[in-house]
Amino acid sequence: MNAGSLFSFFPFLLFPFSISAQNADTTKFVLGKVEYAQYSEFVKIPEAYANKAGMYLRKEVLDAFILMQKCAKSEGVSLTIISACRNFNHQKSIWESKWNGARKVGGKDLSQAIPNAADRAKEILKYSSMPGTSRHHWGTDIDINSLNPTYFESGKGKKEYDWLRDNAAEFGFCQVYSEKGNERKYGYEEEKWHWSYIPIASKLTRYFKKNMGQKDISGFDGSDALPFSEVLKYVEGIAPYCR
């Protein structure tokens, strides 16, 4: 389904969301410098749609997911949100635990295995974003069903992924971290579980590129490991059909 038929089929997607210039609130949302419960744009995800309590999403994104889940269920496919909004401090805890070796990456303590800062950052960036750069800050992105790549290669997991691949666009969602190749040459590794609500996320992607810089990548261990031009590749390194 193309963009035109998407919005005619789901007219509620045509909500007012515009960004015309640098805005303090938008910058906070983009960088994850917020507590989601304090903003009316974000709602708590009911337990019927998530694997744990207390997660938040933008209201429009949750509405779209609920419709998608209902449609999938009617075709024998179960979809559950396992990760949604993560603010700066949440992402910082993930990043620093990998950076400082408290959390193993590929079975290794990276603080010992990769002493070079740039190389260590790139290793973490295969699957985890630097704080301030994660799409999960935005309230537009969700992880569905499993974070294990092999889960989606056979059986129940493959059926779920195939359904999402064939139908998610009808509800506004796109797999931003597709397989790397000629169409997506840089950025994070493939994530079949990560789906982004494009009607909002595409605008925030452009906002980040236009308004963020080196000064905004700070406040965590390893923040100066890479120049902003390299960090930006991970924000921009998405499937072209998700832009």
pLDDT at 4: 39
Q: Say what the pLDDT of residue 149 is.
A: 94
* pLDDT for position 25: 85
- Span 51-100, pLDDT tens digits: 999 999 999 999 999 999 999 999 999 999 999 999 999 999 999 999 99
User: Distance between CA 29 and CA 8 in Å, rounded?
Assistant: 28
- pLDDT one-digit tens code per residue, 146-171: 999 999 999 999 999 999 999 999 99
pLDDT band for 115, please (50, 70, 90 cuts). Answer: very high
Average pLDDT, integer, range 196-225: 97
Q: Are 237 and 188 in contact (CB under 8 A)?
A: yes
The model carries a pTM of: 0.90
Residue 19: pLDDT above 80? no
Express each pLDDT in 176-202 by its tens digit: 999 999 999 999 999 999 999 999 999
- Structural domains present in the chain: 3-242 (3.30.1380.10)
Residue position matching structure tokens 């609130």: 25
- Mean pLDDT, range 96-113, rounded to an integer: 97
Order of strands across the sheet with 194-197? 81-83, 141-144, 194-197, 173-174
82 touches 143 (CB < 8 A): yes
Give 3's contacts (C-beta < 8 A, 6+ positions apart): none
Q: What is the pLDDT of residue 11?
A: 38
**What pLDDT score was predicted for residue 18?**
52
Please return the burial class of 233, using the count of CB atoms within 10 Å of its CB with bins 0-12, 13-18 and 19+.
middle
DSSP, residue by residue, 160-227: HHHHHHHHGGGGTEE-SS---SSS--SSSPP-TTEEEEHHHHHHHHHHHHHH--GGGS-SSTTTTSS-
**What's the mean pLDDT in 93-120?**
98
Alpha-carbon distance of 105 to 80, in angstroms, equals 26
* Confidence bin at 24 (pLDDT 50/70/90): confident
For residue 174, the model assigns a pLDDT of: 98
Mean pLDDT of 224-242: 97
- Kindly give, in sequence order, each residue whose CB lies less than 8 Å from that of residue 41, ignoring residues fewer than 6 positions away: 58, 59, 139
Diameter over CA atoms, the chain: 54
Q: What is the pLDDT of residue 6?
A: 42
pLDDT at 2: 39
User: Quick one: CA dihedral 119, 100, 238, 156, positive or negative?
Assistant: positive
The tens digit of pLDDT for each residue in 30-50 reads 999 999 999 999 999 999 999
